């Protein structure tokens, strides 16, 4: 499926986002493909997935963040993606699907509303979030806290509070996944991460400031 359009879009995404950003986008694309395959073989699945639109959205879903940051990046990225795809003459119907998927990829939809969201958008949301349910995400959160509060002493109580907040966020993130394949893929990783967090929290009572 790696046709000329997909390769052109991948090169564009790498040029805009740089090596690290493109590496993350590529991981999201890989998750998109796996989830699409799992959904397509399910007996009760009646929805047709535009896999090419999904892959294009995976590469382009964060392209605005380098210049504009993450505030409302789903809207700006959709706008930039649409403009680029039109420029390389991608059919209008597919451009619309890509834009819809990107706009949906940051939104948590209630269970009763999920079927109203295009399937490509639900898959992209899940593919993007799967990478955030790991121990690496915990480390990233702690680094971000340190960068935000560089002069704050991290006592055992402070670290416990931070980790409990991360744990709550992980539970919410897991519960927000739209598709059964995503929940299945995340289950073991999610369980391991929660066990990791619980283990750290349990042993923090005697921690000293660092």
Query: For 18-32, what is each residue's pLDDT tens digit?
Result: 998 999 999 999 999
d(CA 60, CA 156): 40
Of 8-12, 111-115, 150-154, which gets the smallest average pLDDT? Answer: 150-154
Q: Say which residue, 160 or 37, is predicted with more confidence.
A: 37
| pLDDT tens-digit readout, 54-65 | 999 999 999 998
- Is there a contact between 206 and 156 (Cβ–Cβ < 8 Å)? yes
Helices (H), the chain: 4-40, 51-60, 65-68, 73-87, 92-104, 119-130, 135-148, 156-175, 180-202
Torsion of CA 17, 22, 28, 33, to 10 degrees: 120
pLDDT digits (tens, 9 = 90+) for 101-126: 999 998 999 889 988 999 999 999 99
* Burial of residue 148 (number of CB atoms within 10 Å: 0-12, 13-18, 19+): exposed
Q: Phi/psi of residue 27, each to 5°? A: -65, -40
Residue 81 has pLDDT above 90, yes or no: yes
Report how far residue 74's alpha carbon sits from residue 101's, in angstroms, rounded to the nearest whole number: 9
């Amino acid at each position: 499926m790696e046709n000329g359009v997909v390769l052109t879009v991948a090169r564009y995404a790498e040029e805009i986002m740089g090596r690290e950003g493109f590496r993350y986008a590529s991981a999201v694309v890989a998750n998109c493909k796996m989830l699409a395959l799992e959904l397509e073989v399910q007996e009760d699945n009646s929805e047709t997935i535009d896999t090419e639109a999904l892959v294009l959205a995976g590469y382009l879903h964060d392209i605005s963040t380098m210049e504009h940051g993450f505030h409302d990046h789903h809207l700006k990225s959709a706008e930039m993606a649409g403009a680029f795809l039109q420029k390389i003459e991608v059919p209008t119907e597919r451009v619309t699907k890509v834009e819809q998927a990107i706009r949906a990829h940051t939104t948590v939809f209630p269970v009763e509303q999920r079927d109203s969201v295009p399937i490509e958008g639900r898959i992209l949301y899940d593919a993007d979030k799967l990478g955030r349910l790991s121990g690496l995400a915990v480390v990233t959160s702690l680094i971000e806290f340190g960068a935000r509060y560089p002069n704050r002493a991290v006592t055992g109580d402070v670290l416990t509070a931070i980790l409990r907040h991360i744990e709550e966020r992980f539970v919410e993130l897991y519960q927000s996944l739209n598709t059964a394949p995503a929940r299945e893929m995340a289950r073991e990783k999610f369980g391991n991460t929660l066990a990791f967090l619980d283990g750290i929290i349990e042993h923090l009572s005697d921690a000293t400031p660092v």
